[in-house]
Amino acid sequence: MKFEFDTLKPTNVSRVFITALIFLGLFQMYGWAAREAQQVFLVCGTICMVSLFMKNIWLTLFMMWTVFLYCYSHFQLGQIYLTNIFFGSVLYIFSMISFKKEHIDKYLTVFLWFVAANIGFSVIQTLGGDWIYKMAMFTKENGFEGTIDSNDPCGFMMFRSAYGMLAAMAMPVIMTRRWKTSLWLGLAMFVPIYISSSSVAVLAGIVAFLFSLWHAPYLLGRVSRYKRLVVVGMAVVLLVGGLWYAAIRDDHVTSFNARVNQWKLVLGDTVTHPLVGWGLDSYRVVTKDKTWLYAKDPYMTKDNKLSADIWDNPHNAFVSFVFEWGYIGLFFVVGYIASVFKRFKKANPTSNAIALFGVFLVTVILSLAHFPLFLARMMCMIVPMMALFEIETERYA
């Protein structure tokens, strides 16, 4: 049995893993029931084996590092993360198996219909016709009293920032379609982004728009010969508008300044465990080593008690990676991002390659002040799209 690893043909190593499970299935740990310990080794061994089929060495290393951290914490932290990463990898692998190049257009078409449905439903919400996300009313005396209509325009995404993230992700897909209205529909996406009250969604939308305009100059028609001048001019206009938005429209309750202060605190604590971090899902969990929670805007109540908004996420995926996976985990994430950039640079710039890389670019930007990678409603779209990007650019791996 030859032990060698090829990301495109991982079966040699996977045979070793499957054979090794014979022995892992017999392991026991002091203080654990035999069946419970053997179950853990079966789960961890299987996730490591599945990681070999990700067709990207950085994703494989990140998954194995996640399993290591789960074991390193004595199997006490990160069950949710481990489960989500496993099911995300299964979705990724099955997307790779189920789709071919000729299917990508169909998937992106369904995605755009989903975006259109969200925008349509947000209009209904604005008019007070939301029949799904009604707000419950409670009283201390009687408990549940009933519901009232919600006028919050967020589509089916449940909250505005996710609505803005969806619109930003849709922009490069729309603008790479060969429609006469692609440019104007792309610009129209700034309306739901504006409604989202999220500066980072505005930034992602600006980058997506300029990226699409640069790589799809046919959008400019007769003035495409002046592409550089047009893109620079649009960049100035959009950036000025973005700065105005950040100053006037952004939601100051969860403003960027508050998040920056939070990140400073979190990053200051990473120096205690720089390599392995504090453990999976440790940001929101109190342990014997980490005996505190991160809070925002603490204040004293009328009865002289301290109250604060406890955060379960730092609202920055990269800060989460450093804090919970350590700098080694962050290294694997940055390696994956660099590999996707390198692959796009080498690839033939087809409409779908541009669209899917644009979605990836938007996701990276959004992750600077949101956490789309930790939300199932976003990952159900992001994971298949990254698998489709691998399919579209397979010959340039």
For residues 335 and 61, give the distance between their C-alpha atoms in angstroms, rounded to a whole number.
Answer: 10
Residues 94 and 105 in one domain: no
135-139 and 143-148 as β-strands: parallel, antiparallel, unpaired? antiparallel
Residues 131 and 167 in one domain: yes
Residues 123 and 138 in one domain: yes
Residues 111 and 221 in one domain: yes
For residues 188 and 168, give the distance between their C-alpha atoms in angstroms, rounded to a whole number.
Answer: 11
Residues 109 and 233 in one domain: yes
For residues 159 and 378, give the distance between their C-alpha atoms in angstroms, rounded to a whole number.
Answer: 12
Flag whether 383 is in a domain.
Answer: no
Residues 44 and 163 in one domain: no
For residues 280 and 323, give the distance between their C-alpha atoms in angstroms, rounded to a whole number.
Answer: 9
Flag whether 215 is in a domain.
Answer: yes
Number of domains in the chain: 2
Q: For the whole model, what pTM was predicted?
A: 0.86
Single out the residue in 46, 74, 98 at which a domain terminates. Answer: 98
Residues 53 and 112 in one domain: no
Single out the residue in 253, 284, 315 at which a domain terminates. Answer: 253
Residues 22 and 83 in one domain: yes
* Half-sphere exposure in the Cβ direction for 317 (13 Å, CA): 14
Residues 105 and 222 in one domain: yes
CB-count burial class (<10 Å; 0-12, 13-18, 19+) for 129? exposed
Residues 128 and 235 in one domain: yes
* 369, 81 Cβ separation under 8 angstroms: no
Task: Give just the sign of the alpha carbon dihedral 264, 67, 291, 310.
Answer: positive
Residues 16 and 46 in one domain: yes
Per-residue pLDDT tens, the chain, 397 aa: give them.
344 455 556 777 778 778 888 887 777 766 677 778 888 888 888 898 899 888 889 999 999 999 999 988 888 888 999 999 999 999 999 999 999 999 999 999 999 999 999 999 999 888 878 777 766 555 555 555 555 556 678 888 888 889 999 999 999 999 999 888 999 999 999 999 988 878 889 889 999 999 998 888 777 777 767 777 777 787 787 777 767 766 666 654 446 677 888 899 899 999 999 999 999 999 998 888 888 888 876 666 667 776 677 888 899 999 999 999 999 999 999 999 999 999 999 998 899 999 999 999 999 999 998 889 998 999 999 999 999 999 999 876 6
Please give the torsion angle defined by the CA atoms of residues 52, 54, 57 and 59, in that order, rounded to the nearest 10 degrees.
-110
Flag whether 86 is in a domain.
Answer: yes
Phi then psi for residue 373, to 5 deg, are: -70, -10
Domain carrying residue 24: 11-98
Structure tokens of 83? 């489960």
